[in-house]
A and B are shown apart, each in its own frame.
Chain A
Amino acid sequence: MSAAKAGVLWQLGLGLFTALLTAQTIVFAVSADPETVWPSFLDLVEETGLVLWLTAGTFSVLLPAAADITGRGGLLADLSLGLVVAQLVLGIDSLQALLRVLAGEGRQLFLARLASEDLRRAARSGRPVRVDRAHALAGYLGAVETAIDSADVAALGQRMTEVARQARDDEHAEVARWRLALLTYLIERVGRAVLYHDLTGDAARVALPHLIDGALHSSYRLTELTGTGAASEDHVSDLEAAVTLGQVCRVIGWLQQAAHERLQERPDDVSARQVISSVAKGRLRIVQFVDPDPPGFYRQAEDPWPYGLSDPAAVLVWLWSMCEFGGSWVGSGLYVLAEVITGEKFYGNYWNDDCIFTEIERRIGADGSRPHRTEDGRAAEVVAACGGLHTVALELCATVIAGLRNTRFTPPAGFEQDPTFSTDRRYLRSQITMFATYDCLPDPDSALDWLSTALSQFPTRRSLWRTVDTAVGTAGHPGTLDLHGPDARPAATTLAALCCLQMHRPDDAREFVDRLPEPLVAGALQLARFSLTTDGPAEPVMLTWSPRTADRLGDRPARRQELLGIVEAILR
């Protein structure tokens, strides 16, 4: 190309560059905020290839101008032509990219990709997984907090979708681990914002179902990536996913109970009602997916967890969390336990006092060592690690009792038939009898022996709580709701042993109560008054039961009699 044409070229290049730059500037000016953190201005610039286009545009003017000024054509002018064409293509592409990421589906995809990229960067920091302290997630979490503070429900919903929508696409276990932790963290964060801050209840409706669904998918993805086919040092079976699924169930239980409590004081509290509505199906959905063979539920091809959980330890860790906060569907969880630990479904009905643990013991023995439908010996290993089947049943029972709500509460309007809020005495009874029907404490001495180990939880001894605590510690606890074992719940633990004795040997139960030290009687009585009977007042929440204050509960013989009476009435 001749030097004379170069003069036309640089004018053409400058004209095109100016036109595109004007268009980009207008779009940026009306839509992008340089102070925004999600996406940051730099994220937008990188996504739209702006720097590359600006560079090409500048040279597409400079080079032909140089050819024009020096009067040299040839290679310089030919190169200039190429640059003009390149800057035109890059400019249009950049403008298109900018329009794409500023609105609609394109923006959602862009931000979801950006969230994944941040998770990848956070995952490089390794363990422990601490979402709230990850520098790489600061931009995203800042945007979440901004949406909460400004009560921007639409923005909050979008933030949640961005993390949840690519839950099945992670290619590295570490990223899936971080995504799962982030989803769990967000469930708790959003719920807390609705219940304790001024965030409208609509946020729960918009965000929580997405998050719960995302956690289900992400947990399965983590198992896929760390299960068969993963590097041997990364193999963790489904235990790690079970920890987080359990945590999700636990948080849902907490949200339900906290919202329920709020509705007792303010029956028309819209936010609390929204929380209850938005998590109403969450726990059931998780139970159905972790069940290897859920009754009345058919998995679609794209659904996660096609075979449910397979490791007995994973089921126990998940089930322990299910029992927290008086959560619903614990009975269904026990059916999952029976199937996974023995390899065969339980066909009885715990509502009619058919005992799941008795059946498990019949099949595999109290120590889990007898092969039934499984041959890998995993059941024996897990039962031994938990201190025996009786420890599993009693510690789960204590966890359920510790989470029972105030029996005086009325169900939220519209949820009268929901078992989570049921006031049916038979439902409350079944919460206890599903464990207490297991005749595992032959006399008061054995009950006191179990009580002494359960209230101690020695690090050198085995128990279900030790197994759960170890699994949670290894996987990382993504929430801020503390976990408490039976040692921190003496009242519930005492009631669990008492209910078990009362179910099978009322005389032994009486002797057991007679032999209990006063602090345990007083604590068990307070908790029983609170959660097992509607007669009389429930004690204030923060009341402790030191010997000096326990006298408020009545004289000592009357306390023991009342405790026995309440337990006897609920198990009748």
Chain B
Amino acid sequence: MSTGPTPAPDLWRRNLPTVESAATVWTVQVATPWLTDPDHQRVRDDLDLVLFRRALKEQTGFCFRRVLLYDPPSDLGGAPDRYAAAQADHAAWIGRVRRHLAASGAEGSAGGSLPEGCEYTVRLLILGRAGTRTAPAVEDGLWTEQTPPADVQAAWSDPRLIPLDPHEESIIGPHRDRNPLWQGAFLG
């Protein structure tokens, strides 16, 4: 299901039941409305939850491959607060997905623990500067068939995509759960 440059949230929502059982799920979510529009954000979160839930609960083969934005586009209508809100939302979103990957044991720089045949991988697309086309050309979409369209596969294989590493930050470290002296020590 490719939805063009501006994805329709209703169409995505209708596909969620399929995502709940499909062995293979490919998504590309690089359009701005995922960061700025409440309807899109709701669908985005519902999709994230479905995938995370499956990664937590299912021991059998699944393959989730997603393309997300490395950072939001700088041109969001010219309003600085709009950009700041989108940037905060994007950072929170990527942080959440990173935690999902780490908690479910997805492959990362410190290894992985998903069962054989299970994969949950996210790659990040760096946007080119306004007016240039350095990023791989790819449109938003959700595919549950075994083999997605060739352009999506080509984009996925593009070396310019940055893997989202679940272990890049110590977000899963228990230090936040523990010693209060450490919390105070870092405050200066």
Contacts and interface: CB of A to CB of B under 8 A. Distances in A.
A258 B57 contact: no
A542 B175 contact: yes
Interface string B88-102: 010010001001101
The 5 closest A-B pairs by CB, nearest first: A546-B110, A518-B113, A544-B173, A547-B111, A458-B45
B180 A402 contact: no
B130 interface: no
**Which of A258, A456, A520 has the most C-beta atoms of chain B within 10 angstroms of its own C-beta?**
A456
Contacts of B33: none
B172 A490 contact: yes
Contacts of A456: 45, 48-49, 52, 96, 99-100
A173 interface: no
Contacts of A544: 167, 170, 172-174
Question: Chain A contact residues (Cβ within 8 angstroms of B): what range?
Answer: 35 or more
Given A254-B180, A261-B180, A519-B103, A545 B49 contact: no
Given A254-B183, A461-B45, A546-B167, A452 B102 contact: no
A453 B49 contact: yes
A484 interface: yes
A406 B179 CA distance: 8
B96 A452 contact: no
B104 A517 contact: yes
A481 interface: yes
Contacts, number: 141
Interface string B151-188: 00000000000000001001111111111111111010
Contacts of B59: 515
Nearest to B177: A402
A438 interface: no
Interface size bracket, B side:
35 or more
A484 B176 contact: yes
B110 A490 contact: no
Interface stretch (A141-149, A355-363, A443-451): A443-451
Contact of B172 (A406, A459, A523, A541): A523
Contact of A541 (B108, B111, B175, B184): B175
A487 interface: yes
A448 B55 CA distance: 11
Contact of A258 (B89, B108, B113, B181): B181
A170 B45 CA distance: 45
B38 interface: yes
Nearest to B178: A541
17 contacts: A192-B184, A402-B177, A452-B49, A455-B99, A459-B41, A481-B187, A482-B183, A491-B174, A491-B177, A519-B104, A519-B113, A520-B103, A539-B174, A545-B174, A546-B108, A546-B110, A548-B111
Nearest to A542: B175
A262 B181 CA distance: 8
A547 B52 CA distance: 18
Nearest to B113: A518
A285 to B, nearest CB: 21
Given A515-B57, A548-B111, A488 B176 contact: yes
A527 interface: yes
Given A543-B173, A547-B113, A261 B102 contact: no
A546 B172 contact: yes
Contacts of A520: 103
A489 B175 CA distance: 9
B105 A547 contact: yes
Nearest to B100: A456
